[in-house]
Chains A and B, each alone.
Chain A
């Protein structure tokens, strides 16, 4: 079956191809090019890309680009690499850690094949950055529904040059294609060729990847379906509640809650300076501000509109609903216990909670991010207790949807390399 090629050999294209083997071989040849680049040169290049995007695309992409740019900052990349690999220099050659006579080297695994979700295509870019940092080449299977932004941003690499790296050269290490979901032959070829399989997607996408054959040495980094929520302790309500609500509103709005790290339920501890219901009202005000000033919501599909209207009507009988006149955003306040079924599309459930320890029972491996806002001491204690059976991240409110490392409980950067030892 033919598949569509969108970016190949450093150039945008719109070609139909049957040459999966050729494309894979082309990419493999680029492994040595990346291998020979010092990691600091790659970091400097990516930092420059961030600046370029800031200047060129900020207006077009708005706030949703901020986080990508933030991620590409030199200091951030250095810290992230050093945390995941202990020493980023291990990517360039053999280094010592603690032992005197052992040298360690993080070799790239080789070919990383990415399966990127349709509804949050920009998330896939984070993985592409990580593969570049670890000197892997990338074959990206984009979503046929939303690939344009990703192609546009990556293609702009060719317009960025540093003293050491020419953007058009490094771009040759990334190929973007669209493969039909029924094209078993090509999907299997990609899977069998992959040294690392990276997936961003829902249950269906992840399941369809898991049934594809792979080599025993292939490593999987699966960013599968997850649920996230937030908890606000009473002491956090002593401070600037408006700011806190605004930070939460950004978390809710940044991917319209379609990302695994987006909060759907927010528990507000009772007994604070303001009551949970008041916080819900403040959150509603801030969702309105964020929608108006920072992250205007795009179109909502008609079925989702009806789902939102139904939820609103249901809770107008039994709770409190604060919402926009249209379906841009909705805050549903009820005194129910437990986590709410997600509706997505900026519909957030606010629930009062008396005993914050109760959230322990809500956690399993389907939970990803728990946004926590309370004193550090309580935060660390609660995070330890509640993450035993699930939840991989406990960031503060306002940074829930910031992609960071580790993610989904693992250092993906570490999984993208093969540790090699040599002895002195």
Chain B
């Protein structure tokens, strides 16, 4: 069995940092060596950076690829015929979506990781999922899958039944909602799932509509998993605490059951969920390093910087170590009150596009 498979046998939040370090590093090394040998571009990249995956190095020395590179360069570490899915990002940070090529090995690892991580937060038992999205969203076209679809599909193992309550125009479909609510038995557990901005939009349009509010009242105490889309809320100056509070009122649940899910299309499977204390937890299957914006060196805990994500799970593409345009801060390496072991952090914001206003501004008419 590979080191990566070994890693996936461990419970996601069961290891203290000193216990995790060696096991995780072995898996990362295995992954880096694999991509070095199987992806020419990655090999070139490592060589240019003077990095030898066979050599001696620590986690902070592993070179990182910017997430944006997946938009412009096709990066694959397996034969094309082994690619089973092409996941493309929601493209909120630019015009070109990232394109990630998945083989069965990667998908299997991602499913396993996702199951274990999510179970730690909402429990392992299957639930009725009420999804704030349209059913057509999850359909794949010519083997291509949007990251929204991939995220929803990733939750399938937790679904006893799934109800999509938005119509094709992403407006609330009352009939679907009614049907979903009526299907919930007394002892049954419910989980709301959807993209952050769709929750926000639906809530904004329906928070004052009594019939809608009353329907949600019938199913109280549910978990809410909302994913991605903070950039749009950031633009609207919506604060996370305010959003959680409003959404919990709208869906008749407790704010601590509203869980923000952070993750990257470029590293599906290793996601970071908020615990009841509002911190995002790093599972044993991945790690994050906060890089100082000026020096790009690891920032001290408590200092904010760019979030670098490291995961040995990707097999079909060299997404082992990536740096995002998200700003975050590590709260501590261990010791969250929620009881989960390992590093926990806060997502601060997504970096805004650099504004150029001077006479050297990019020319609209091109070069």
Residues on A facing B (Cβ under 8 Å): 117-120, 123, 143, 200-205, 223-228, 255, 257-262, 299-307, 309-310, 313-314, 316-317, 320-321, 325-327, 338-339, 341-342, 344, 362, 366
Give the distance in Å from the alpha carbon of A362 to the alpha carbon of B41 in the complex.
Answer: 31
Q: In the complex, which residue of chain A has the Cβ closest to the Cβ of B49?
A: A316
- Tell me which residues across on chain B come within 8 A of A204, comparing CB atoms: 357, 361
CA distance A321 to B208 in the complex (A): 57
A259 x B367 contact (CB < 8 A):
no
Distance A117 CA – B353 CA, assembled complex (angstroms): 18
Asked if A202 and B358 sit within 8 Å, CB to CB, the answer is yes
B-side contacts of A255, CB under 8 Å: 360
- Is the beta-carbon distance between B357 and A366 smaller than 8 angstroms? no
User: Are B73 and A314 in contact, CB atoms less than 8 angstroms apart?
Assistant: yes
Question: Does the CB pair B306–A366 fall under 8 Å?
Answer: no
B363: Cβ under 8 A from any A Cβ: yes
List, in ascending order, chain A residues with CB within 8 A of B237's CB. Answer: none
B45 contacts A316, C-beta separation under 8 Å: yes
Q: If the complex has contacts A225-B361, A362-B367, are A314 and B293 also in contact, measured as CB distance less than 8 A?
A: no
Instruction: Give 25 A-B contacts (CB < 8 Å), ordered by A residue.
Output: A117-B357, A117-B359, A118-B357, A119-B358, A120-B360, A123-B358, A200-B359, A201-B357, A201-B358, A202-B357, A224-B359, A225-B362, A227-B363, A227-B367, A302-B293, A302-B306, A313-B45, A313-B65, A313-B66, A313-B69, A313-B73, A317-B41, A325-B296, A326-B296, A338-B367
Given A316-B45, A366-B363, check contact A303 B357 (CB 8 Å): no
The 8 A-B residue pairs with the shortest CB-CB distance, nearest first, are A202-B361, A302-B351, A260-B359, A119-B358, A117-B358, A303-B351, A310-B68, A309-B66
Q: Tell me the dominant secondary structure on chain B's binding face.
A: loop
User: In the bound complex, what is the Cα–Cα distance between A409 and B302 (angstroms)?
Assistant: 52
Contact with A along B288-299 (1 / 0, CB 8 A): 000001111100
Chain A nearest Cβ from B93, distance in angstroms: 9
What CA separation (Å) do A120 and B66 show in the bound complex? 29
Instruction: Assess the A259–B360 pair: CB atoms within 8 A.
Output: yes
Q: Contact between B360 and A260 (Cβ–Cβ < 8 Å)?
A: yes
**A residues in contact with B296, CB < 8 Å:** 305, 325-327
Q: A301-B354, A316-B48 are in contact. List 7 more A-B contacts (CB 8 A).
A: A117-B358, A120-B358, A225-B360, A259-B359, A306-B324, A316-B49, A325-B296
CB of B297, distance to nearest CB on chain A (Å): 8
Residues from chain B with a CB closer than 8 A to the CB of A258 are: 356, 358, 360
Q: Which residues of B contact A309 (CB under 8 A)?
A: 64, 66, 323
A119, B297: Cα distance in complex, Å? 27
List residues of chain A with CB within 8 A of the CB of B351.
301-303, 305-306
Check B66 against A257 for contact (C-beta < 8 Å): no
B95 at the A/B interface (Cβ < 8 Å)?
Answer: no
Flag whether B365 is at the interface (Cβ < 8 A).
yes
In the complex, per-residue mask of B168-192: 1 if CB is within 8 Å of any chain A CB, else 0? 0000000000000000000000000
The residue on B at minimum CB distance from A222 is: B359
> Do B65 and A223 touch across chains, with their CB atoms under 8 A apart?
no
Which residues of chain B are within 8 angstroms of A317 by Cβ–Cβ distance?
41, 44-45, 73
Q: Give B34-74 as 1s and 0s: 1 = Cβ < 8 Å from A's Cβ atoms.
A: 00000001001100110000000000000011111100110
A303-B353 in contact (CB<8A): yes
Q: Is the CB of B356 within 8 A of A344?
A: yes
Smallest CB–CB gap between A8 and chain B, Å?
Answer: 25
Give the interface centre of A202, A204, A227, A338 by most chain B CB atoms within 10 Å. A202
Q: Assuming the A-B contacts A314-B69, A325-B296, A342-B362, are A302 and B325 also in contact, with contact meaning beta carbons closer than 8 angstroms in the complex?
A: yes
Asked if residues B359 and A120 are in contact (CB atoms below 8 Å), the reply is yes
B118: interface (CB < 8 Å): no
Q: Which residue of B lies closest to A120 (CB)?
A: B358
Q: Are B294 and A326 in contact (CB under 8 A)?
A: yes
Q: Are the CB atoms of A262 and B360 closer together than 8 Å?
A: yes
**Is B210 in the interface zone, CB < 8 Å from A?**
no
Minimum Cβ distance to chain A for residue B174 (Å):
40
- Contact check, B72 vs A314: say whether CB atoms are below 8 A apart: yes
Q: Mark B329-367, 1 if CB is under 8 A from A, else 0.
A: 000000000000000000000011110111111111101
**Chain A contacts of B225 at CB under 8 A?**
none
Give the residue name and chain of the B residue nearest to A316 (CB): B48
* Chain B residue contacts of A341, Cβ below 8 A: 362, 367
Contact A303 B325 (CB under 8 A): yes
Cβ–Cβ < 8 Å partners of B72 in chain A: 310, 314
B32 interface residue (CB < 8 Å to A): no
B327 located at the interface, meaning its Cβ lies under 8 Å from any Cβ of chain A in the complex: yes
Give the docked Cα–Cα distance between A202 and B358 (Å).
Answer: 5
Given contacts A203-B364, A317-B44, are A299 and B294 in contact (CB under 8 A)?
yes
Given A310-B72, A316-B45, A226 and B364 contact (CB-CB distance below 8 Å): no
B293 touches A305 (CB 8 A): yes
Docked complex Cα distance between A201 and B72 (Å): 30
| B367 and A306 within 8 A (CB) | no
Q: Report the bound CA distance from A409 to B359 in whole Å.
A: 15
Bound-state CA distance A259–B67 (Å) is 29
CA separation between A205 and B356, bound complex, in Å? Answer: 10
Residues of A within 8 Å of B68, CB to CB, are 306-307, 310
Of A261, A299, A366, which is within 8 A of B365 by CB?
A: A366
Residues of A within 8 Å of B356, CB to CB, are 119, 202, 258, 344
Tell me whether B306 and A201 are in contact (CB under 8 A): no
| Complex Cα–Cα for A200 and B361 (A) | 11
Q: In the complex where A300-B293, A316-B48 touch, is A123 in contact with B323 (Cβ < 8 A)?
A: no
Q: Which residues of B contact A228 (CB under 8 A)?
A: 360
What's the Cα separation between A281 and B218 when bound, in Å?
A: 69
Q: Which residues of A contact B354 (CB under 8 A)?
A: 301, 303-304, 307, 344
**In the docked arrangement, what's the CA distance between A201 and B358, Å?**
4
Least CB distance from B76 to A in Å reads: 13
**Contact status B65-A202, CB under 8 Å:** no
If the complex has contacts A300-B293, A313-B69, A317-B41, are A118 and B358 also in contact, measured as CB distance less than 8 A?
yes
Of B69, B361, B364, the most chain A CB neighbours within 10 A belong to B361
List, in ascending order, chain A residues with CB within 8 A of B297's CB.
326
Please indicate the chain A residues that have their CB under 8 angstroms from the CB of B353 in the complex.
Answer: 303
A321 to B47, CA, bound (A): 12
Question: Contacts A302-B327, A317-B44 hold; do A205 and B293 have CB atoms under 8 A apart?
Answer: no
B367 and A366 within 8 A (CB): yes
C-alpha gap A262/B359 in the complex (Å): 10
User: Of A120, A228, A307, A313, which is in contact with the most chain B CB atoms at under 10 Å from its CB?
Assistant: A313
- Within 8 Å by CB of A223, from B41, B352, B359, B364, lies B359
Closest to A315 in B: B48
Distance in angstroms from B100 CB to nearest chain A CB is: 16
Flag if B367 contacts A339 (CB, 8 Å).
Answer: yes
Residue of B nearest to A118 (CB): B357
Residues of A within 8 A of B363 (CB): 203, 225-227, 366
How far is A161 from B306 in the complex, measured between Cα atoms in Å?
50
